[in-house]
Amino acid sequence: MSKRQKFVLRRLGSALAIAFVAISFNFVLFRALPGDAVTNISQVPNVSNETRAALRAQFGLDKPLWRQYFAYLERLLQGNLGVSYQNQQPVAGNVFRATGNTIPMVGLGALVAIAVGTVIGVSAAYRQGTLLDRGITETAMVIYSLPVQWLGLLLLVWFAGVLPTSGMSDPYLIDAGLWATLKDRLAHMALPSTCVALTLFGQFALVVRSSMLEALGDDHVLTARAKGYGTGRVVWREAFRSAMLPLVTLSTLTLGFVVGGTILVEAVYTWPGVGLATVQAVGTRDYPMLQGIFLIVTLSVVAFNFLGDVLHAILDPRVAE
């Protein structure tokens, strides 16, 4: 087994361990805290103790904690995340649908952020110390310090009337052709995706800038320059390639958070994804839904972290040593 394979296996082991701890943590979080599902449901006046006991038995809450824990693990293995209080549907299906809505919107925003952030970061590094560089780094920092929900509201104020401001599609658009549907979907995505891109690009610009600064000082870049290669080749093919590592890591980390959606952005634009589902679950105290969402979001982050480690090992064999 090569060193690299060993490294990947080790990371897989630790990812699985973290996933298991996260699953158990999710159980503890919702069960071991004072007040269970029944104390919440039975808050109607005049609940008899018999009803309460019957409910408790129905939810399996009369069993010892470790039995509940194993029942929880068993249900998870069957893909059963419980039933939502809000619509009496399985949580797994609800979360799955919401994820399907979130990924295109946040994914688009994240991709734009990565592309724009990279170009901006590289230009800033190339012109380190100039007005352009200072302007870019300072703008990135200012935008980074704006509250996301507030930025979203400002975009709403500016673009109300120009672009659709809530939901995912026009409810009056029925049986439209593929092209019209796609256009409608993109128009609805425009504001939330822009908001996501704005909140993310600064990070990418700053990370790319600092790793490019380091790479531009490398010997092989100097050599390339001495050989008389043009600016484009020196910057992008020589320096950028060795500066890509942090960018790849940050990108996979960010993509891990895509599934979690950006709760605040979805709340502002009532985009029916995971984030909005979270807000609604909080508003209605829909614990099974909240628990399911939190589990899926956590597991996706762990999975993407692992993916980042693997990519890192492929791009930079030194990490395995």
Partner 1 sequence: MSLLRLLRRRPMIVLGIAVVTVFTVAAIVAPLIEPYSTSKRSGASFSPPSGAHLLGTDDAGVDVLSLVIAGAQNSMLVGFAAAAVAVLIGGAIGIIAGYWGGWGETGLVALTDFFLVIPLLPLMIVLATLFGQTIFHIVLVIGLLSWMQVTYVVRAQVRTLKERGFVRRAHSLGASDPYVIRRHILPHVAPLLVAQTVLTVAAAVFFEAALAFIGLGDPARVSWGTIIQNAFLHTAVSAGAWWAIVPPGVCIALVVLGCFLIGQGVEEAMNPRLGNAHVSPRSFRLRRPAEAPPS
Residues that bind partner 1 (CB under 8 A): 18, 21-22, 25, 29-30, 33, 35, 126, 128-129, 141-142, 145-151, 153-154, 156-157, 160, 165, 210, 213-214, 216-217, 221-222, 225, 234-235, 239, 257, 260, 263-264, 267-268, 278-279, 282-283, 285, 290-291, 293-294, 297-298, 301-302, 305
Pick the closer one to partner 1 by CB: 78 or 231. Answer: 231
3 state SS for 244-276: HHHHHHHHHHHHHHHHHCCHHHHHHCCCCCHHH
User: In whole angstroms, how close is the CB of 43 to partner 1 at the nearest point?
Assistant: 14
Pick the closer one to partner 1 by CB: 59 or 257. Answer: 257
User: In whole angstroms, how close is the CB of 158 to partner 1 at the nearest point?
Assistant: 9
User: In whole angstroms, how close is the CB of 216 to partner 1 at the nearest point?
Assistant: 5
Pick the closer one to partner 1 by CB: 31 or 181. Answer: 31
User: In whole angstroms, how close is the CB of 34 to partner 1 at the nearest point?
Assistant: 9
User: In whole angstroms, how close is the CB of 58 to partner 1 at the nearest point?
Assistant: 22
User: In whole angstroms, how close is the CB of 62 to partner 1 at the nearest point?
Assistant: 21
Pick the closer one to partner 1 by CB: 123 or 193. Answer: 123
Residue type, 295: L
Q: How far apart are CA 141 and CA 135, in angstroms?
A: 10
User: In whole angstroms, how close is the CB of 186 to partner 1 at the nearest point?
Assistant: 22
Pick the closer one to partner 1 by CB: 105 or 301. Answer: 301
Task: Yes or no: say if 194 and 105 are a contact pair by the CB < 8 Å rule.
Answer: no
Pick the closer one to partner 1 by CB: 250 or 268. Answer: 268
Pick the closer one to partner 1 by CB: 65 or 154. Answer: 154
**What six digits make up the tokens of 48?**
């008899």
